[in-house]
Structure 1
Amino acid sequence: MRAIAIETPGGPEVLTPVTMPRPQPQAGEVLIKVAAAGVNRPDLLQRQGTYPPPPGASPLPGLEVAGVIVAVGDGVAPTRIGERVCALTPGGGYAEYAAAPEGHCLPVPAALSMIEAAALPEGAFTVWGNVFDRGRLQPGETLLIHGGTSGIGSLAIQMAKAHGTAVLVTVGSDEKAAAARALGADHVINYRTEDFGLKTLEATQGRGADVILDMVGGPYIQRNIDCAAVEGRIVFIAFQGGSSAEVDFRKVMMRRLTLTGTTLRPQSIAAKTRLAAALTETVWPWVEKGLIRPQIYRVFPLAEAAAAHALLESGEPIGKIVLGLE
């Protein structure tokens, strides 16, 4: 099969087209003929050598795919062969074939193309696990999303609105502000020209945000605490601005805040299977109703994965970048 390998840690140029044997599905796994694969920031970190795959996972990058099941491992019903699925993978998505645990596969929604479906799993698992599971977002509450037009941010806006919550987002340009509003954001804050903490308090009449989804960290950590509501939950999923900060914890105590976060890839198969079940029950019906649709910024052929990485690193995209294999 054709695939994209990481020749050595480094920039986008180290992504190398290769030919290699297709994987064999192990017990509890399915083999997917990949039609499209999502490109995510963890892929960039793996390419740079700072986010290695978990033990036993494919060394190839790629954490989400869409395609057709063409083979199954022991313990998986052969009747699954031929199913159109999108799947969360532990690695290996940048290839013509990828293996995934059966429980991490979700049906391709009828309303979506394979390209769109490939842009769903990583974001949907991440948003559900952090905003809804750990963050316990409830209808009527307020969610503040940093990076509101990223792949995860654009999906989080739509999922939160479908859930009946108010949404505030931070963005870095007028173009991204317009995109966030089009997705349903109630308040959009340009972090380059406005203080997101003050604007959050203004938008909530001084109450603050009930849940904050942060992929920046660093200088945002204290500012998140300052604009969180009483009993608020601050959830970290990345630290693009740094993973350390000097923090005054008195407001954490006084407002009874919860600071938490997760990384998705190292979680157990069982934990991710539970997330998949929750998505099937709650989020997939929203997708079928048209309340959620992945925002596709650009599609590259598999061989141009390096260009896809360079574009994602630029910070330009609004929504997701996808590799198309058909």
Structure 2
Amino acid sequence: MQPRLALIPGEPAGIGPELVVRAAQQDWDADLVIHGDAETLHRAARALQLPLALHRTGETPASLRSLEIVDIPHPCIAGFGTPEAANAATVIQSLLQAGQACIDGRLDGLVTGPVHKAAINAGGIAYTGTTGLLAGQAGCDVVMMLANRIVRVALLTTHIPLRAVADAITPDALRKTLQIVHDALRDDFGIAEPIIAVLGLNPHAGEAGHLGDEELRIIEPTLDALRETGMRLIGPLPADTAFLPEKLRGFDAVLAMYHDQGLPVLKYSDFANAVNISLGLPYPRVAVDHGTALELAGTGTADPSSLFAAIQACTQLARRRMTA
């Protein structure tokens, strides 16, 4: 039986709807169920001059290429590249409705397109990211991990100011994060004894305390304690050399202390095929690793590689859970 995956176009004024239309032209090893606005998708299809057949849940498909849709109409059809704050509630509704279907077992995974944070907040909804939104709905701790064909990078802290990072690095946060990453690599990725490289916070991983003491006070003692439980952890490592190819071959994932410590390397190495995976949710959730690209909306030039990689990754993760 094929997994049933929710597919969320995201910001209607961005490239997400176009990417979904391009996905509809492909054959997948999963059944895709779109949660979004049908008219926005048809508008994108017309702009791309591509066919798009949709059928609502419970209807008989008119063609083999028809995709199932849970139609969540937007209050207004946004112009290409021009987000409308009035659509904020329906964008969030599509995410939460699909997330709940996954929690209830009616769907097997969730693939999300790019969401425009400013437009959501302008619509009166406090929103810092989809990862946190879905974690709050499921009532669990999650870890953001970005992955491509070369490296997996998990983040201890995500979207916080750089000056707040050091205070956010605590033994408890480090333990919880590494446990989630370890369990996901073992259970979802099938790596029996995962090896995780942990980066230091400071240059040269603190240089034995001369360039900062977070490594000595927090990171090293926490890693030592977790090693006693059987985790295979390397570090803390200097971030400037941890991503050398010969070193990466010895790791299954890298834990970065903050967003811009690890993600520039990942995106430089293979941006087109990078995806964002939420570890710790009760279902697989994979997102594209790019933004709404408002300037490309409606031009037909947006690269669908990341969405295609996200669908493939979510399919693989869902299959593993279905057969576990």
- More helix per residue: 2
- More strand per residue: 1
Larger-gyration structure (1/2): 2
TM-score bracket relative to the smaller structure: 0.3 to 0.5
Larger RCO (CA within 8 A; separation ≥ 6): 2
